[in-house]
Structure 1
């Protein structure tokens, strides 16, 4: 399997989720299954079915997290000082929408840690792909479902 790029903060967040799933969620669902079994007939037991479904989700997420973490290539954004101000994986980029004048700041992270609400965009997103390699002052075009948008790179930070 190919290396999965993650920031050090992303690895920490995924490790915390994995720990919570293994130490809190998994034991809780095992107890719920045991309680539902104690009620008798499993063929018409909605609590049992719901608990088994939840267990399947938890086990699948644990396997996904373990696979991601085992193939993680950890990149520390603070160690990226020698990029001549260019946008690279892990950089935080401030951009301005040339049409509306809105300013946005995003950190470019791996697919597994992206969260648009936290301003973390995936390196494979159209915006990140357009920004990679650009410098402060450059204008980029992003093809979005709503049409082509133009953004100016206002600043690049490695934090």
Structure 2
């Protein structure tokens, strides 16, 4: 079971519908067209289309499984006194004085470029249940970080 936001749930549903209604028929048409060209044993287009179909069906099954076990969290019921899932937290790296803001999300919606940090990451795990002003030491691949929680929304 994975907890996700309503926004993530809607995005996953939209992606799944697009793959099933647009991409899958396109790939099936490509397979049929390649099959019509004759000998399948030496038909590169046919093999490529079949690989594409297998990849697409795998992605569809993955998204279906994520949605099947997903539980949508109501953001209005989240408390902002401690760090938790779907909280926006501002932290300062004590080592270099750099301030960063992240939203702790499920693995399905994690995207560092958008400031969405997976709840299963080492930094998020260390920040869980911390309050404003708390100091945290985290082991990351680059070494040890000391972080201070500045704000929780």
TM-score (norm 1): 0.91
2:128 to 124, 132, 151: 132
1:43 paired residue number: 41
In structure 1, distance between residues paired with 2:80 and 2:30: 55
Deviation string 1:72-103 (CA, Å, 9 cap, x unpaired) is 111122321xx351001111111111111222
How does 1:11-50 map onto structure 2 within 5 Å?
A: 11-50=9-48
How does 1:88-103 map onto structure 2 within 5 Å?
A: 88-103=84-99
Count residues in correspondence.
153
Is 1:10 the counterpart of 2:19? The answer is no
Following superposition, which runs of at least 4 residues in structure 1 exceed 6 angstroms of deviation?
A: none
- Secondary structure, in 3 states, of the residue corresponding to 1:40? coil
- Secondary structure, in 3 states, of the residue corresponding to 2:108? helix
1:65 paired residue number: 63
Larger mean Cα displacement after TM superposition, 112-121 or 17-26 = 112-121
1:112 paired residue number: 108
8 Å CA contact 1:87, 1:132 repeated in 2:
yes
8 Å CA contact 1:76, 1:90 repeated in 2:
no
TM-score (norm 2): 0.94
Deviation string 1:127-154 (CA, Å, 9 cap, x unpaired) is 1101110111111111101111011111
Change in 2 beyond 3 A, CA 1:36/1:63: same
Stretches of structure 2 lacking an aligned partner (at least 5 in a row): none
